Amino acid sequence: MMCAALTRAQDLQDAGANPQGMADLLAKLKAYGDSVAKKPVPRLSDGKPDLSGVYNKVVRDIFQGAQPKPEYTAAGKAKWENVANEIDPVNQCNWPGVPRLMQEPDPFEIEMKPGKVIFLYEYMHNFRVVPTDGRPHPKDVPLSRAWLGDSVGHWEGDTLVIDTVGMNGLTRLDPMGHPKSEQAHIIEKYRRPRFDQLWYEVTVEDPKYYRQAFSQSATFPLTPPEWRLEEYACNENNQDSWVKGAH
C-alpha cells in the first residue's frame, strides 16, 4: 500500500485550519505506518536496534494509566493544590525538563552514535546527548543543577534505559502541572518493537512529592521521511510573549 506523500508544514497548516484537518493528518500517519510496518527493525553494527528516526507525540497526562496509581505525600498534595496559582515555567520559555519533554506535543528525533544517543526535540528546540558507554553519573555534579539534569544510558537487551538525576525541581512532570521536586529520579526505557513504532516507558521516583514510584508507557509512531523538525521560537523570560499567550 502506498502512502500519500506528506509535506509536514502544509499538513500542520491544514490540521489547524479546520476540525477535519487533524483527523486527516493522523490518518496519513497511520497509512504511512501500515505501509512500512512489516519492514524489519534496523540494527546497528553492534547488533543493537537502531532507534533513529523522527517520531510524533501528543500531549499526555502522566497520571493517566500510570501504575501503580500515583499517591501524593503531604508536600506533593499541597504543591498540586497550589498549581493554579503558579506560572507554568514553560510559559516563560524555561525548559520543560525530563520527563515533560516526552509529555508535550511536537515531534522529536533520535540519532544513534557510537557510545551515545542524541535526542532532538522540536519543542523549544531542546536536545539531550546521553552517553551509553557505561559511565556512571559524575560524582562531582551537584544535585538540582539543571533543567534536564544528568542522564546516562545503557542497554538491557533491545531496550535502551536512561537514568536521569540532578534536576532543579523547577519543572513539572507534564503539561497538566503534576509537580516534580529536586529529589526526582527518572528512568526512561525505549524499545523499537517494529519498524514504525517506538515504545516508551517512564518511571518516576520522587519521595518528596509521591509515596511510591509509578510508571507510564506509550507508543510513538515513526513519521514519513519527508518530515523534519520545524523551527520553534521561544526566549527565556519572554514576558511579552507569555502574557499575550504566544510562544
Q: Helix/strand/coil (H, E, C) string of 128-158?
A: EEEECCCCCCCCCCCCCCECCCEEEEEEECC
Do 60 and 143 fall into the same domain?
Answer: yes
**pLDDT tens digits along 135-179:** 999 887 665 578 999 999 999 999 999 999 999 989 999 999 999
Number of domains in the chain: 2
Task: Give the mean model confidence (pLDDT) for residues 227-245.
Answer: 63
Do 50 and 77 fall into the same domain?
Answer: yes
What's the Cα-to-Cα distance from 78 to each of 32, 83, 209, rounded to whole Å?
A: 45, 9, 9
Do 228 and 204 fall into the same domain?
Answer: yes
225 CB-near residues (< 8 Å, 6+ apart): none
d(CA 85, CA 114): 45
d(CA 126, CA 107): 12
Q: pLDDT over 70 for what percent of the chain? A: 85
Q: How is 80-131 classified by DSSP, letter by letter? A: HHTGGGS--GGGGT----TTGGGTSSS-EEEEEETTEEEEEESGGG-EEEEE
Owning domain of residue 125: 42-244
Dihedral of alpha carbons 234, 240, 242, 244, sign: negative
Q: Are 214 and 114 in contact (CB under 8 A)?
A: no
- How many degrees, rounded to 5, is the angle at CA 63 between CA 60 and CA 64? 65
* Residue-level pLDDT at 178: 98
Task: Give the mean model confidence (pLDDT) for residues 65-94.
Answer: 95
What is residue 205's three-state secondary structure? Answer: strand
Q: Inter-axis angle of helices 8-17 and 19-36, to 10 degrees?
A: 140
CATH code where residue 231 lies: 2.40.128.20
Q: pLDDT over 90 for what percent of the chain? A: 68
Do 73 and 115 fall into the same domain?
Answer: yes
Q: Has residue 8 got a pLDDT over 50?
A: yes
Give the pLDDT band (50/70/90) at residue 19.
low
Do 12 and 77 fall into the same domain?
Answer: no
* Residue-level pLDDT at 171: 93
Do 120 and 50 fall into the same domain?
Answer: yes
d(CA 158, CA 162): 13
pTM, 2 dp: 0.87
* Residue-level pLDDT at 218: 96
Q: Residue 39: is it exposed, middle or buried by C-beta count within 10 angstroms (0-12/13-18/19+)?
A: exposed
d(CA 211, CA 74): 9
* Residue-level pLDDT at 5: 41
d(CA 170, CA 21): 36
* Residue-level pLDDT at 241: 43
Do 91 and 173 fall into the same domain?
Answer: yes
Give the pLDDT band (50/70/90) at residue 23.
confident
d(CA 52, CA 27): 23
* Residue-level pLDDT at 221: 94
* Residue-level pLDDT at 155: 97
Who wins on pLDDT, 160 or 243? 160
Do 108 and 217 fall into the same domain?
Answer: yes
Do 133 and 160 fall into the same domain?
Answer: yes
Q: Has residue 243 got a pLDDT over 80?
A: no
Do 155 and 216 fall into the same domain?
Answer: yes
What's the helix, strand, coil split of the chain in %, to 5? 20, 30, 50
Neighbouring CB atoms inside 10 A of 78's CB total 12
- Averaged confidence pLDDT in the chain: 87
Do 146 and 53 fall into the same domain?
Answer: yes
Do 93 and 156 fall into the same domain?
Answer: yes
**pLDDT tens digits along 27-74:** 888 899 999 999 999 999 999 999 999 999 988 999 999 999 999 999
